[in-house]
Chain A
């Protein structure tokens, strides 16, 4: 079942289920907040949680192409936009909790904070770069932008690198958690590079063979 392309109604159902699933981290936060179970530092908890889930959604979105390359199962690519938009959704919650709960819109303090602290700066940059991607995620925008759309959405790679760096530089000493995300990202990007290299080799050899054949 997993290997076959699901039909339209199946895909709708899958989308609906995943949509609910992707809202679970938010539901959990609301539940913990309502029962005062966010711990001694609830703001830090919310920032950490929303940030982590933004990163997880991003990595899920980036995992769908490697899945296709490695297994030939292509239909999950149809879920990529949803994963990407959930990444942006959690990133928005993350950024809002930083601006509002953590700093109470104290703009002078916030701007100083962003400029002076490298981890904040790269995180901010990742968020800013993600805005145009979210804005151009509709079918209409895809059509309107044509070939440039793909080029624009390659921005997801630097965003992912900045996001992992954001986590890495935030951590005081125990880098095991960001290291885990870095390794996953490296694998996901590595598969792409590997296949791109192979493809290029293939086209090169085919064109060489063709050239050889035509000259003969």
Chain B
């Protein structure tokens, strides 16, 4: 396994702020080869390789009823099979190349059609709303899927904090593109930084969350630390990772994948078994973790969230607005 041993500390002993400061201190300590006592006392495995990506529990979050009936994809699979091109284009790249990535300190900048542009630190984001666990299906456009127990809060809470003006009809999400810490950004595979977007009503929908953790732990770097978007009824690429900017706009933003392949990737990118992709079949999917001999499963409209989100697209031609 690439990730270090689970720390055996009580979750109640740690607050998010302490987690981050601890992590920061730890990275420094690892870098200078000092303060070994501190590491030992904190209960971490003193391994340099896993230093920056040590698993840390989130102090408190509420369980919810979402996805209770689903069988979870294993932590190993969720954290070693990732599309995160900023850390390389192979699925196994992000887990390896994000190891020394530092998700703190981190600020999110709120811009565009808002009363007042401002910046918010990741520590303050943690205090914005009570954290909750949401078990969601994640369907990748490439025809595979997972079930992931995210920890996060509704995006609507962040939007309330941002105070958008009446002109704001869309939100653009801008990911970090730092060639120093993200080797994939040095290659012009996509037009960096990665950008995603949502219509305001999609963004305000209670299913849409900003995730800061998974499996009750702080979000691993390869999954988009420290904060990412999760929109369970859309293809996985809509979930922008390591977000540094939130821009409220009047016009529909152009996303990174729309730029890269306008005929293949649309703005909406709703999971839809009826609309074929030139490369992958969208009528079925492979659930990760089933092993060699488990058949594909049928892909459901809006990834099975049709009851909740279907009305958002009433009257729209989903073949045209793919």
Contact = CB atoms under 8 A, between A and B. Distances in A.
A158 interface: no
A52 B279 CA distance: 18
A40 B80 contact: yes
A8 interface: no
B279 A117 contact: yes
Contact of A173 (B92, B144, B189): B189
Interface in A85-122: 101-104, 106, 109, 112-113, 116-119
Nearest to B256: A173
30 contacts: A39-B80, A39-B91, A40-B81, A40-B91, A41-B91, A41-B288, A43-B286, A44-B144, A44-B286, A46-B292, A101-B293, A102-B286, A103-B296, A104-B296, A106-B295, A109-B283, A113-B281, A116-B276, A116-B281, A117-B279, A117-B280, A118-B278, A119-B279, A170-B279, A172-B142, A173-B85, A173-B89, A173-B189, A173-B261, A174-B89
B288 A174 contact: no
B189 A174 contact: yes
A42 B286 CA distance: 11
Interface in B120-157: 142, 144
B91 A33 contact: no
Contacts of A117: 278-281
Contact of B286 (A33, A38, A41): A41
Interface in A158-178: 169-170, 172-174
Given A39-B81, A39-B92, A41-B81, A169 B279 contact: yes
Nearest to A97: B292
A26 to B, nearest CB: 15
A104 B85 CA distance: 31
A131 B293 CA distance: 27
Interface string A3-26: 000000000000000000000000
A174 B293 CA distance: 29
Contacts of B292: 33, 38, 42-43, 46, 101
- Size bin of chain A's contact surface: 20 to 34
Nearest to A175: B189
A40 B289 contact: yes
B156 to A, nearest CB: 32
Contacts, number: 60
Nearest to A113: B281
Interface string A168-198: 0110111000000000000000000000000
Interface string A121-149: 00000000000000000000000000000
A51 to B, nearest CB: 15
A31 to B, nearest CB: 14
A102 B142 CA distance: 13
B274 interface: no
Given A44-B144, A103-B296, A117-B278, 14 more contacts: A41-B91, A41-B288, A102-B286, A104-B295, A104-B296, A109-B283, A112-B281, A118-B278, A119-B279, A172-B142, A173-B85, A173-B89, A173-B260, A174-B89
A109 B296 CA distance: 11
Contacts of B142: 172
Interface in B253-302: 260-261, 276, 278-281, 283-284, 286, 288-289, 291-293, 295-296
B168 interface: no
B21 interface: no
B194 to A, nearest CB: 12
Interface in A19-59: 33, 38-44, 46
A117 B282 CA distance: 11
B201 interface: no
B308 interface: no
A42 B292 CA distance: 6
B281 A40 contact: no
A173 B190 contact: yes
A68 B283 CA distance: 49
Contacts of B289: 40
B178 interface: no
A41 B280 contact: no
Contacts of B81: 39-41
B141 to A, nearest CB: 8
B77 A40 contact: yes
Contacts of B276: 116
Interface in B172-227: 187, 189-190
A113 B260 CA distance: 24
Contacts of A103: 296
B30 to A, nearest CB: 28
Nearest to B261: A173
A173 B91 CA distance: 13
Contacts of B189: 173-174
Nearest to B92: A39
Contacts of A169: 279
